[in-house]
């Protein structure tokens, strides 16, 4: 474990050389680990779903540092290399991987559905049609969200906040739209992104002051506690989505405030490392997690959330050297490669 800790330290140095907010990276690390766990055969109620919390957290935090400070062509080019090229590379790598897994599961070479390769272009009213590597939906969605933001974020912030709230309120409508390449999903998740854009930087500024940290932690903790206690009245029905959004957003604020007190030691260093590397973890964890899960089920013959937690932990550790290698030799996979300008 000490060897892995040293790898995390040295591998994370280059990624954190520029100024970053440690509490944001720590929360990203927590969220990406929960996302890995949510892709195992664990069970949870709808409200406390790990995947839902991780998704909301990432879209919310992604809005914090969003800027429209470049012409449209340059803006799109940057997102092309940062989001679409990693998506394409992971998607292509997923084809032979999924083929091998299908052969493993069915013991046959004839069960692989080759039309799945083109599934992202199907015009369907479904939120997740990336069966080759389902987590990659996030990269396509955040790409479209950035394009929306290029135009929407030119409005006054109160208008941006209003647009974001409308996106959350009309989730049922947007999810029924039949669109390819996750455009319908982007219409909903833009709501969390817009809220993060409006409140993110002021919130981080206040958390730099110790007295404000305590105040924000106390207020957000109280609200989270109240929402938790009254959750039994809202876990079903048409208002569930809004209730869950409020709970998770306030939970994110509470965790940001709490992590602002964290001494940057070994554990928080691990979380920061995974947080900084969350794009690679998102795209690559299926390649490691799925084989571990298959082996775990062969041994235990049962699907259990704690076995899933162990598989998720082992997956996260195995990804550490892979992240370091990718950062050094293939930065395109982690969204850090930029074309040289003449």
The answer to whether the beta carbons of residues 39 and 285 sit under 8 Å apart is yes
pLDDT in tens, 152-165: 999 999 999 999 99
**How many residues are recorded in the chain?**
342
Alpha carbons 23 and 28: distance in angstroms, whole number: 9
The answer to whether the beta carbons of residues 260 and 27 sit under 8 Å apart is no
Closest to 4 in 3D by CA, of 180, 221, 285, 266 = 266
Non-local CB neighbours of 193 within 8 Å, separated by 6+ positions = 59, 60, 62, 63, 66, 142, 145, 149, 164
Average pLDDT, the chain: 84
Mean pLDDT of 264-283: 84
pLDDT score of 232: 60
User: What are the CA-CA distances from residue 35 to residues 57, 159, 233, 313 (Å)?
Assistant: 10, 31, 27, 11
pLDDT in tens, 283-305: 999 999 999 988 888 888 877 77
The answer to whether the beta carbons of residues 235 and 46 sit under 8 Å apart is yes
Non-local CB neighbours of 9 within 8 Å, separated by 6+ positions = 269
pLDDT score of 280: 95
Confidence of residue 47 (pLDDT cuts 50, 70, 90): very low
pLDDT score of 13: 44
pLDDT score of 38: 85
Alpha carbons 189 and 90: distance in angstroms, whole number: 22
pLDDT in tens, 71-105: 999 999 999 999 999 999 999 999 999 888 888 88
pTM over 0.85: yes
User: What are the CA-CA distances from residue 173 to residues 14, 143, 183, 185, 328 (Å)?
Assistant: 43, 21, 13, 11, 44
Q: Which residue has the higher pLDDT, 303 or 3?
A: 303
pLDDT score of 257: 93
Place of tokens 């455009």: 183
Closest to 232 in 3D by CA, of 31, 47, 9 = 47
Residue 222 tokens, joined: 């109280």
192 pLDDT exceeds 90?
A: yes
238 pLDDT exceeds 80?
A: no
CA atoms within 13 A on the CB side of 52: 18
Alpha carbons 131 and 127: distance in angstroms, whole number: 11
């Amino acid at each position: 474990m000490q060897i892995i800790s040293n790898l995390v330290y040295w591998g994370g140095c280059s990624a954190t050389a520029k100024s970053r907010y440690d509490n944001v990276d720590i929360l990203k690390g927590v969220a990406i680990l929960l996302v890995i766990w949510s892709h195992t055969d664990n069970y949870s109620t709808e409200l406390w779903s790990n995947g839902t919390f991780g998704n909301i957290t990432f879209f919310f935090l992604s809005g914090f540092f969003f800027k429209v400070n470049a012409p449209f062509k340059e803006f799109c080019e940057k997102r092309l290399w940062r989001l679409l090229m990693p998506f394409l590379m992971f998607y292509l790598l997923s084809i032979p991987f999924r083929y091998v897994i299908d052969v493993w599961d069915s013991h046959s070479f004839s069960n692989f559905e080759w039309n799945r390769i083109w599934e992202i272009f199907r015009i369907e009213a479904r939120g997740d049609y990336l069966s080759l590597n389902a987590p990659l939906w996030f990269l396509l969605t955040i790409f479209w969200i950035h394009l929306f933001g290029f135009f929407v974020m030119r409005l006054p912030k109160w208008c941006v906040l209003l647009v974001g709230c409308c996106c959350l309120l009309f989730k049922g409508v947007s999810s029924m739209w039949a669109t390819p390449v996750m455009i319908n999903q982007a219409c909903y998740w833009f709501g969390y992104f817009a809220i993060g854009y409006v409140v993110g930087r002021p919130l981080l500024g206040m958390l730099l002051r110790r007295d404000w940290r305590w105040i924000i932690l106390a207020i957000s903790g109280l609200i989270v506690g109240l929402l938790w206690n009254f959750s039994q009245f809202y876990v079903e029905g048409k208002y569930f989505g809004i209730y869950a959004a409020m709970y998770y957003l306030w939970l994110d604020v509470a965790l940001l405030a709490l992590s602002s007190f964290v001494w940057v030691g070994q554990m928080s260093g691990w979380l920061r490392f995974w947080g900084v590397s969350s794009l690679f973890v998102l795209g690559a964890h299926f390649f490691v997690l799925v084989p571990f899960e298959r082996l775990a089920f062969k041994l235990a013959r049962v699907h259990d959330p704690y076995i899933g937690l162990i598989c998720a932990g082992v997956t996260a550790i195995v990804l550490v050297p892979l992240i370091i290698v990718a950062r050094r030799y293939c930065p395109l996979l982690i969204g850090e490669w930029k074309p040289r300008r003449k």
